[in-house]
């Protein structure tokens, strides 16, 4: 049953999903993407995985011809120590739906460019298994998209790309006939939030692709603020940081630094920032172009769950107190409309007490940006990603939100 949700304004759907505008006597049609949404309330006898199955069916995922096709389900398996990632139960619901429609699903992600438990396929698989993603628990294989060392990629042209002409995408991701993204929608220390575009664009890039997206600008370290704690050094995988033992200060090796920004998130004293004031914006644009390379020219579907909205990415080996309440599950054929709908829902929510966001807002000296993600991490920026995604034709930011009870 479809109905209006009491907290979100929903526009009534029509059969062709179009709005008619009369401009200069000429009728013009503007298409709005349909985004389906449901909350986390469950009826007796129906758990959340079943409700997710019902949502993706209602949203039309079953209209895709899965019969005999390889289906990549892109998701994040969570860094070891992090407990904010999506539970395997949700992945199983999606994989089972694909199998019921004759498809051959596999869960996938690509290796990381920083230290941790997912920088090569062996460690990545052990991490996925330890976090509960096994063929038994999710009902399909887990395949690391860019191979053993993160070098098994393929260059994919970006139609209309301004920053990237050929994206370096994990080969297994591109070998699939159909692409599905299953995203944990949360905050992010650089891109403001991690949604479908972040999950696809950054997540499907090989290690070389991730470096290309991050190499917009290099960080700088304030000698005055640096405490010499060396926490940032643990996050650098590219020899981009050098500790000056005499001064007991950290410095940047500009020859090796790739501008990934992991050190920025690791510093507790705000000693590290980016030299290029537009580095985050360029990262966002490249990320949108990588997403376009992944989804262009084949059937696609996208799912985002706004729950456990941690301030930082699931790539961290920890997850902080959620900054926002659990809101619901969203699904659409359009990844851009999906991200726009999710961020709109988040911006209408109330910050959770005790969270990083709430603490910032309680500080009388804090500048309120009237944006939950910007207020949570003031160094972050997210609007440029959605602006550029629309500009290059990834999708539309205009959507019709349809609530499923």
Rounded distance, CA 128 to CA 194, Å?
A: 19
- At residue 142, φ and ψ (nearest 5 deg) are -110, 120
389 and 395 Cβ atoms separated by less than 8 Å: yes
Please identify every stretch of the chain with a pLDDT value under 50, giving residue numbers as ranges.
1-29
Element at 306 (helix H, strand E) = strand 300-306
> Residue 1's Cα: distance from chain center in Å?
29
If we measure between CA atoms, which residue out of 344, 396, 397, 401 comes closest to residue 10? 401
Delineate the domains of the chain, giving CATH numbers in brackets: 2-214+286-404 (no CATH), 217-275 (3.30.70.20)
- CA 291 to CA 201: how far, in whole Å? 4
**Contact at 8 Å (CB) between 355 and 323?**
yes
In 3D, which of 189, 228, 182, 144 has the Cα closest to residue 316? 189
Closest by alpha carbon to 95, among 49, 63, 51? 49
Q: State how far the alpha carbon of 7 is from the alpha carbons of 10, 52, 401, in Å.
A: 9, 20, 12
Q: Which residues contact 11 (CB under 8 A, 6 or more apart)?
A: 32, 400, 401
- Residues 76 and 352: beta-carbon distance below 8 Å: no
Residues facing residue 31 across a β-bridge: 18
SS3 199: helix
The predicted structure's pLDDT at residue 30: 54
Per the CB < 8 A criterion, the answer to whether 212 and 168 are in contact is yes
Q: What is the DSSP string of 246-287?
A: TTTEEEE-TTT-----HHHHH-SSS-EEESSTTHHHHHHHHH
> What is the structure's pLDDT at 404?
98
Q: What is the pLDDT of residue 214?
A: 85
Residue indicated by tokens 């979100």: 8
């Amino acid at each position: 049953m479809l109905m209006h949700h009491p907290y979100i304004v929903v526009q009534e759907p029509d059969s062709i999903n179009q709005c008619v505008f009369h401009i200069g006597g000429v009728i013009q049609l503007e298409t709005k993407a349909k985004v389906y949404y449901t909350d986390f309330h469950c009826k007796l006898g129906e758990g959340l995985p079943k409700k997710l199955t019902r949502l993706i069916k209602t949203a039309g995922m079953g209209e895709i011809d899965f019969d005999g096709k390889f289906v990549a389900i892109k998701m994040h398996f969570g860094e070891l120590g992090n407990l904010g990632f999506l539970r395997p139960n949700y992945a199983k619901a999606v994989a089972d739906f694909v199998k019921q429609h004759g498809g051959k699903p596999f869960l996938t992600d690509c290796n990381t460019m920083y230290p941790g438990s997912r920088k090569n396929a062996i460690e990545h698989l052990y991490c996925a298994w330890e976090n509960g993603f096994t063929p038994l628990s999710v009902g399909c294989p887990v395949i690391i998209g860019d191979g053993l060392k993160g070098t098994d990629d393929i260059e994919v042209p970006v139609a209309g790309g301004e920053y990237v002409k050929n994206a370096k995408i994990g080969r297994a991701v591109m070998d699939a006939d159909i692409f599905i993204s299953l995203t944990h929608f949360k905050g992010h220390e650089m891109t403001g939030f991690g949604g479908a575009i972040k999950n696809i664009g950054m997540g499907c890039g090989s290690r070389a692709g991730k470096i290309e997206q991050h190499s917009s600008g290099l960080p700088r370290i304030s000698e005055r603020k640096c405490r010499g704690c060396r926490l940032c050094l643990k996050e650098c995988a590219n020899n981009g940081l050098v500790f000056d033992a005499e001064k007991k200060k950290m410095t940047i090796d500009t020859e090796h630094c790739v501008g990934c920004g992991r050190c920025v998130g690791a510093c507790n004293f705000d000693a590290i920032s980016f030299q290029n004031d537009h580095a985050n914006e360029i990262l966002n644009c490249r990320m949108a172009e990588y997403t376009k390379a992944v989804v262009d020219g084949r059937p696609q579907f996208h799912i985002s769950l706004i729950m456990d909205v941690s301030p930082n990415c699931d790539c961290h080996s920890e997850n902080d107190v959620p900054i926002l309440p659990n809101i619901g599950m969203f699904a659409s054929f359009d990844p851009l409309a999906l991200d726009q709908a999710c961020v709109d829902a988040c911006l209408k929510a109330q910050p959770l007490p005790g969270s990083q966001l709430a603490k910032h807002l309680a500080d009388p000296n804090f500048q309120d940006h009237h944006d939950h993600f910007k207020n949570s991490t003031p160094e972050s920026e997210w609007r440029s990603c959605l602006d550029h995604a629309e500009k290059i034709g990834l999708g539309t930011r205009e959507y019709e939100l349809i609530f499923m009870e």
